[in-house]
Chains A and B, each alone.
Chain A
């Protein structure tokens, strides 16, 4: 008899525990599996601001389809030589981006000091170069322009059209000519030029 009562109790116990209506919380696998914390849109830490007036500045040149222009906070060798003005930007177009770096100095002595030091280390790893030497000094396509008091450096994944930029600098009254222009294409060696309003001349040793 007692055994029967115990079996009956056990049966009811099992029955009630199996039919419990308690809502169990279901775990979503997406919530518990590890995820990458990378956000594609915010991957850059050096771009600090957007300025629409800069877009119109660069868009003044017809053939350029500029999407946005961002300011860079990185430091470069020419920053050490007390420029009176500097502009460090990344210009984005639909298919490409160009790094635009420019420094203006109070006189030609500062500009020269800055330029020659820049030639010792245009980018890491430093690959110092002598005047008119032909060698690789940068990983990507790069052009350096130097006039009396201004130093400009452009870098891009695509080849930089130097003549287009000369027209741009002329139009924007940045400079009508440069005593030195260094062009290096990706996987190529440097070539040296000079320019005036009328002439674009290849320079050699």
Chain B
């Protein structure tokens, strides 16, 4: 079943793992063990940059809140910082193969 959603796949980069290593009380995994996260978004968009600018703050907060790093060590939530920490892929082909 096709879903009327777009997606943003967010994959941590080595810079993010290094930052975790510096501030987290638990040892982070290696880059090859890191799993990307898929965020579903509205599919009514044409330009990736516009979508990213609209969504990155919320996604960045999610990613930071899921870490064990205390809020006082969080970086500034900017698009530049976001791009330094994560690779992103944006698209609109979302199919739910479990829902018939």
Contacts and interface: CB of A to CB of B under 8 A. Distances in A.
Interface of A: 35-38, 43, 45, 134, 136, 139-141, 157-159, 183-189, 191
Contacts of B27: 134, 188-189
B62 A157 contact: yes
A139 B68 CA distance: 14
A20 B65 CA distance: 68
A36 B4 contact: yes
Interface in B6-56: 12, 17, 20, 24, 26-29, 33-35
A159 B96 contact: no
B29 A45 contact: no
B97 interface: no
Contacts of A189: 26-29
Given A187-B34, A188-B29, A189-B26, A141 B66 contact: yes
For the complex of A and B, the 3 pairs showing the least CB-CB separation, nearest first, are A36-B4, A186-B66, A38-B3
A203 B7 CA distance: 40
Given A36-B2, A36-B3, A38-B3, A185 B67 contact: yes
A183 B24 CA distance: 14
Contact of B5 (A38, A134, A186): A38
Nearest to B2: A36
Interface hub of B2, B12, B20, B65 (most chain A Cβ within 10 A)? B65
B76 interface: no
A37 B2 contact: yes
Interface centre among A43, A157, A159, A188 (most CB of B within 10 A): A188
A162 B27 CA distance: 18
26 contacts: A36-B3, A37-B1, A37-B2, A38-B2, A38-B5, A38-B96, A38-B99, A43-B3, A43-B96, A45-B98, A141-B66, A157-B66, A158-B65, A158-B66, A159-B65, A183-B26, A184-B26, A185-B24, A185-B26, A186-B66, A187-B17, A187-B35, A188-B20, A188-B67, A188-B68, A189-B26
Given A38-B5, A45-B99, 7 more contacts: A134-B27, A136-B33, A157-B65, A185-B67, A186-B66, A187-B29, A191-B26
B99 A139 contact: no
Contacts of B35: 139, 187
Contacts of B98: 45
A187 B99 contact: no
A185 B33 contact: no
Contacts of B62: 157-158
B9 to A, nearest CB: 14
B1 A38 contact: yes
A76 to B, nearest CB: 18
